[in-house]
Amino acid sequence: MNIEERKNAFVQLGKVLSNFTEKNLWESHACGLTKEEFEEFETTLVRAKVLNPWFTEDQVRKAISGIVSMLDKSRLEQWIDSYESLEETNKAIGVVMAGNIPIVGFHDFLCVLISGNKLAAKLSSEDKILLPMISQVLIQLEPRFQDHIEFVERLQGFDAVIATGSNNSARYFESYFKEYPAIIRKNRTSVAVFTGNETEEELTAFAEDVFLYFGKGCRNVTKIYVPKEFDLNKLFQAFYPYQEIVNHNKYANNYDYNKAVYLMNQVELIENGFLLMKQDSSLHSPLSVLNYEYYNSLDEVISQLEEKKDTIQCVVGTNFTPFGKAQTPDVSDYADGVDTLEFLLALK
C-alpha cells in the first residue's frame, strides 16, 4: 500500500466510526457496515463496561468521537504532509498499550500503520476488545492491513518498541528493551492555569478537562494554579453538571476513601459532594481530588511548569490548550511531546 491508500483507509474508518459516537439505529446507506456488523460493534461497546466498569458506554463513545476527529480528512492530510516520506517500510513495531481510558492506544496504532510498518500490540487487560474491533473495521475497508496488524500476549521478533506505563513499569521496559530503538512513556498528568478573567463558558468547558474518563487520563487536569483573589466557588458552579459522577460505584469508593483519609489527618478540604479540592503544591492528585495552588506572579507559574515539564502532559488555560480541549488532542499532538511518527520514519 502506498501512503494515499493507507490514508484513504483511515479516512473511511473515521466515517464508519462516526456512526458510533452516539447510540444510533443502523442505516445501511450511512453506516458502511451490514446490520450484523453494526450490531456486533454496538455489542462490543456495551461489553467494554462489563470487562472494565470504568468504561461506561458514554465514555467509550466520547473516546470514539475523539478518534473520528483525528481521522478528519483535512487534518490527516495536513499531518501527513508535514513529513517528507511515508513510504511503506514493513518494520515490526511492538507496542505495549495502556488501558487507563478507552482506546488510549489508538494514536500509536495509527502512527505505526500510517507509516507503513507492521503492528504487534500487547493490549492492557483493562482494554482488550475495543481496538481489535476497530481494527476489524479497518481491515474490512482495506484488506491488505490484515498482514500488518497483530494482537499478541508477548512481544517478540520486533524491530522497535513503543511502551506506555507507570514509572515503575517504565524502569522494567527500559531494561528489557534496552537493545532496541524505543519510546518509553512514564506517568504524566495535566494542569490548568487561571488568570481570573475566564468566562462562564470557559469554566463550564474546563469541567470536562477534570471529569472526563473519571479523571483517569494523563490529559485530565489534576492541579490548578489560581491567582490569590480567585473565587473557587465559580469552579464548583461550573462542575455542578457532573454531580452524577459520584453515583459510579468505583468513583464513589475513591471519593469516600480519600475524604476519610484527609479528615483523619485533619487536612483542610473544600468539597461539594463529588469532588475534593486540596491546597497542595503537588501536580498529581488521587482520583476524585483536584489540587490547587495560589500564585502571585504568572511568570513564576510559567517557570514552575518549565521545571516540571517532564511530568506534565498538557497545560490548559489562556495561551495554552483551550479550556475543554485537554482530552481531545489533535492528531499531531504526541504523548510526552515525543514525535512518534518521526521516530518510526527514522527506522528506515
pLDDT at 79 over 70: yes
The architecture (CATH level 2) of 3-187 comes to: 3-Layer(aba) Sandwich (3.40)
The owner of cell 476524585 is 288
- Return the SS3 of 270: strand
Each residue of 217-253: pLDDT tens digit?
999 999 999 999 999 999 999 999 999 999 999 999 9
DSSP one-letter string for 231-263: -THHHHHHHGGGGGGGGSHHHHHHHHHHHHHHH
Q: What are the cell numbers at 192?
A: 490548568
Query: Mean pLDDT in the chain?
Result: 94
Q: What are the cell numbers at 12?
A: 473511511
The amino acid that residue 116 corresponds to is G
Q: What class has domain 189-317?
A: alpha beta
DSSP one-letter string for 148-166: GEEE-SS--S-SEEEEE--
Of 25-29, 66-70, 234-238, 304-308, least confident by mean pLDDT is 25-29
* b/e code 329-340 from CB counts within 10 Å (16+ = b): bebeebbbeeeb
Strand order in the sheet with 189-193: 270-271, 276-279, 289-295, 221-227, 189-193, 312-317
d(CA 122, CA 136): 16
CB-facing half-sphere around the CA of 186: CA atoms within 13 A: 10
Measuring CA to CA, which residue among 116, 112, 159, 182 is closest to residue 341? 112
Average pLDDT over residues 287-291: 98
- Return the SS3 of 227: strand
DSSP state of 266: T
Q: Any idea where the domains of the chain sit in the sequence?
A: 3-187, 189-317
| CB 133, CB 160: distance < 8 Å | no
User: How far is Cα of residue 83 from the mean position of the Cα atoms in its chain?
Assistant: 23
More reliable by pLDDT, 210 or 25: 210
pLDDT at 28 over 70: no
The owner of cell 500476549 is 153
Q: How many CB atoms lie within 10 A of CB 215?
A: 23
| CB 317, CB 193: distance < 8 Å | yes
The amino acid that residue 57 corresponds to is E
User: What backbone phi and psi angles, to 5 degrees, belong to 281?
Assistant: -80, -15
Q: What are the cell numbers at 18?
A: 462516526
- % of the chain exceeding 90 in pLDDT: 87
CA distances from 17 to 64, 106, 140, 347 (A): 7, 13, 13, 31
Each residue of 45-59: pLDDT tens digit?
999 999 999 999 999
Strand order in the sheet with 149-151: 149-151, 118-122, 92-96, 160-164, 182-185
User: How far is Cα of residue 200 from the mean position of the Cα atoms in its chain?
Assistant: 26
Average pLDDT over residues 325-329: 93
Of 7-16, 110-119, 162-171, 188-197, least confident by mean pLDDT is 162-171
Q: Which positions ≥6 away from 60 have C-beta within 8 Å?
A: 45, 48, 49, 102, 103, 130
pLDDT at 29 over 60: no
**Element of type H or E holding 112:** helix 106-114
Q: Collect contacts of 229-233 with beta carbons under 8 A, ≥24 apart.
A: 229/196, 230/194, 230/196, 230/294, 232/270, 232/277, 232/292
Model pTM score = 0.94
